[in-house]
Amino acid sequence: MPRSDNLHELPPDIPIPTDDGACDHLPGMKLPALELPSTAGRSITLAHLPGRTVVYICPRTGQPDVDPPLGWNEIPAARGCTPQSSDVLIRSAFRDHYRELQTLGADVFGLSTQDPDYQREAAERLHLPFELLSDEHLAFAHALNLPTFEVAGMALIKRITLILNAGIIEKAFYPVFPPDKNAEEVIEWLSENLHHEGT
- What does the alpha-carbon distance between residue 86 and residue 79 come to, in Å, rounded to a whole number? 14
| Helix (H) or strand (E) run with residue 3 in it | none
So what's the pLDDT on residue 33? 97
Which structural domains are found in the chain, ordered by start? 45-194 (3.40.30.10)
pLDDT of residue 74: 44
Residue 3 has pLDDT above 70, yes or no: no
90 pLDDT exceeds 60?
A: no
Q: Name the pLDDT band for 96 (thresholds 50, 70, 90).
A: confident
Instruction: Decide if pLDDT at 83 tops 70.
Output: no
pLDDT in tens, 102-112: 999 999 999 99
pLDDT at position 79 is 41
User: Which has the higher per-residue pLDDT, 2 or 27?
Assistant: 27
CB atoms within 10 A of CB 148: 15
Best CA proximity match to 180, nearest among 42, 59, 54, 88: 88
pLDDT of residue 92: 39
Residues 6+ apart with CB under 8 A from 103: none
pLDDT tens-digit profile of 102-151? Answer: 999 999 999 999 999 988 988 888 889 999 999 999 999 999 999 998 88
Amino acid at 47: A
Radius of gyration of the chain (CA): 16
Strand partners, 47: none
Tell me the pLDDT band of 14, cut-offs 50, 70 and 90: low
Average pLDDT of the chain to the nearest whole number: 81
d(CA 58, CA 159): 5
Strands 106-112 and 131-134, sheet pairing? parallel
